[in-house]
Chain A
Amino acid sequence: MNMARLTQRLFLVAFFLLPTVVLADLDIVVTKGYDSKTKMAIVPFFWGEATVLPEKIDAIMTNNMVRTGRFDVLPSESMLSQPSTEEGVFFRDWQLLGQEYLVIGHLKPFADNKIEAKVALYDVVKNRRVVQVTQIVGQYQLREFAHSLSDLFYERITGVRGIFSTRVAFVTRKALADDRYDFRLQVADADGQRARTVYKSGEPIISVAWSHDGQKIAFANKIGDRWKIIIQDLKSGKVNSISDARGYTSSPAFSTDGRYLAYVSSNKNSPEIYIYDFQTGKSERLTRNTYIDTEPSFSPDSKYLVFTSEKGGKPQIYRYDLAAKRSERLTFEGDQNFRARYSTDGKYLVFVHLNEGRFHIASMDMASRDIRVLTETDLDESPSIAPNGTMLVYATQRGGQGVLAWVSLDGQVTNQMKSDFGDVLEPAWSPYLN
């Protein structure tokens, strides 16, 4: 049963991959955090040259740590000393300031305009060095380097892998004259910086999904009178599309091994869930009814698909067992529930939850099936969990504009990100990329 047509094309759609061009400047505001935070001092890194480096590693690390809501970072003016080497570190000074961790860094010029960086993390309470990194980095890799250091230190302190080197993909929508819009698919660092346009269209783009190797992004784009699923390889820029002769195709989601793509097609009248097999080039239809079935997403072990269906009267979340070919309803609380996504460990679902006329993001503990509402904003949609399971990103509105927001899985920390580029919609957090 091969109903979908997989078309390979390259030049039909616009494609950009220009790493140095910043198109959307996104400003992050931490709106809420934990009461008891880990106290950390990040001493401004030493750089003895007259030239100014393109990025300040210590400042990027400070922002990263603050944004998690778990760290209180000591302002540099409160420091008694600003050591850059181990000889200058006196634990007593930092203990006096109530600090638990200390980061120092020393940068010096290396051959070919590169920099030799020596950075260390100390446990001030236990009076010991936790980890030290010596690395030769290019001037234009300083931001990546700062994110990698943040990942390493965050993991050593919390025991959880950091997500500072991951990315977030999202859609921006800008109104132009004459009822026309500029839609862009953009990919930014996890902190919202360095957003790059990877796909551009005059017509809507929705439903952004990463492949689990982080190499591809799939999404739906209205092209003429049809919606096509576009699968874009981020490195080569190669673009494939899936579409049917009738109806729309949308809502793509990759299986963990990358072999399958779950998607929705209304080719046979009402929207149904299909699975496309990249190896055989064939599609299999999973649902068969006159109701709306949409928003499929694989479980991490790829044994299940969660999806939204209104076969019970209103949209609710169901789980389809791919072996038994049976589905089971998961959500019973709230008026309606939509668009579930699994956490990487499969222990949680996050989804859109309508209760008393307001759309919030909620999570479900898959063991107890307990639901917890995580957000206080309204018109919340498109939740996507970070690969380490600590935070999720979602789309909401502020002052009538679409913005991205973050919330921790325990509901304790929230951040928001605004864009000068119009509405920011449909975020999707990347997997680990290295």
Chain B
Amino acid sequence: MARSKLLTAAALSSAIVLASCAGKTVSDDTSATSTATSPESTTTVETLVLETDDDVALNLEIEQVEPDTLIEESDEMNMDLVGDLVFFDYDKADIRAEFREMLNTRAAYLVANPNIEVVLEGHADERGTREYNLALGERRAKQVATYLQVKGVSAGQIDVVSYGEEMPLALGKSESDYAQNRRVKFK
């Protein structure tokens, strides 16, 4: 289940990147008038592309897999990694002992399924500057990636992206809110 979604998402996002690099180059003399005519449609384009990303992936899953097989497979051997969370101490990126067993299971699964790719999203709490937290979020995601690689997962199966402090899970200011926000999420 995770597989088809992730692969499709990856294919789509690389298509977006290609389109953005190749198609839209403009000359230096572009006037303000021509740019002013386009904003509405471009907003829609960008937003829609990002939405389509998920929608298409979900549709494809439904087309590819019969409901019965889907249930059976996920019970037996398909591990849905999406949404799994690893939490961290303040200003730290060390993997706490309590998450090792979970990560070992994930690693074994990825080793057994070399076609499956994961994206590790790194997050930070709001304390500290946004740039520092962007770096810290990436360090956490890379720490999880390194752990998985030590356990034999191929580097090519893993991508990391940091969100810094920009997408908190908990909006409060207590230590327990902050603890929820210092995380790496499997996507």
Give residues in A with beta carbon < 8 Å to B.
5, 7-18, 173, 179, 181, 200-204, 206-207, 220, 222, 224-227, 235-238, 247-248, 250-251, 264, 266, 269-271, 292, 294-295, 308, 315, 336, 338-339, 352, 354, 359, 379, 381-382, 400, 425-426
A339 near B50 with CB under 8 A, answer no
Complex contacts, B25 vs chain A, CB 8 Å: 7-9
Q: A10-B26, A236-B30, A236-B31 are in contact. Are A250 and B163 (CB under 8 A)?
A: no
Complex contacts, A250 vs chain B, CB 8 Å: 131, 134
Q: A225-B159, A250-B131, A354-B128 are in contact. List 12 more A-B contacts (CB 8 A).
A: A7-B21, A173-B166, A181-B167, A202-B50, A204-B166, A224-B50, A236-B35, A238-B28, A250-B134, A271-B135, A308-B129, A338-B128
B138 near A202 with CB under 8 A, answer no
Complex contacts, A18 vs chain B, CB 8 Å: 36
User: Binary interface profile of B, 50-62, with partner A (CB < 8 Å = 1, else 0)?
Assistant: 1000000000000
CA distance A248 to B26 in the complex (A): 25
Give the distance to chain B from A83, nearest Cβ to Cβ, in Å.
43
CA distance A204 to B162 in the complex (A): 11
B135 near A292 with CB under 8 A, answer yes
Query: Quick one: which of B13, B42, B128, B171 contacts A11, CB cutoff 8 A?
Result: B42
For chain B, residues 19 to 39, give those with C-beta under 8 angstroms from any C-beta of chain A: 19-21, 24-26, 28, 30-32, 35-36, 38-39
A10 near B46 with CB under 8 A, answer no
CA distance A220 to B133 in the complex (A): 14
CA distance A224 to B173 in the complex (A): 28
Q: A17-B36, A238-B28, A238-B35 are in contact. Are A294 and B20 (CB under 8 A)?
A: no
B176 on interface, CB distance cutoff 8 Å = no
Give residues in B with beta carbon < 8 Å to A.
13, 16-17, 19-21, 24-26, 28, 30-32, 35-36, 38-39, 42-43, 45-47, 50, 119, 126-132, 134-136, 138-139, 142, 159, 161-164, 166-167, 171, 173
CA distance A247 to B161 in the complex (A): 7
A237 near B32 with CB under 8 A, answer yes
Give the distance to chain A from B162, nearest Cβ to Cβ, in Å.
6
Q: Tell me how many residue pairs across A and B have CB atoms closer than 8 Å.
A: 144
CA distance A203 to B164 in the complex (A): 12
Give the distance to chain A from B113, nearest Cβ to Cβ, in Å.
21
Complex contacts, A207 vs chain B, CB 8 Å: 130-131
Complex contacts, B17 vs chain A, CB 8 Å: 224
CA distance A195 to B149 in the complex (A): 48
Give the distance to chain B from A389, nearest Cβ to Cβ, in Å.
22
Give the distance to chain A from B130, nearest Cβ to Cβ, in Å.
4
Give the distance to chain A from B9, nearest Cβ to Cβ, in Å.
9
Please list 30 pairs of residues, one from A and one from B, whose beta carbons are closer than 8 Å in the complex, sorted by A's number.
A5-B21, A10-B24, A11-B24, A12-B24, A15-B35, A15-B38, A17-B32, A17-B35, A17-B36, A173-B166, A202-B50, A206-B130, A220-B134, A222-B166, A224-B13, A225-B119, A236-B31, A237-B30, A238-B35, A248-B138, A250-B134, A264-B131, A266-B135, A269-B142, A295-B132, A308-B132, A338-B131, A339-B132, A359-B127, A425-B130
A11 near B161 with CB under 8 A, answer no
Give the distance to chain B from A388, nearest Cβ to Cβ, in Å.
25
Complex contacts, A339 vs chain B, CB 8 Å: 129, 131-132
Complex contacts, A379 vs chain B, CB 8 Å: 126-127
CA distance A116 to B108 in the complex (A): 79
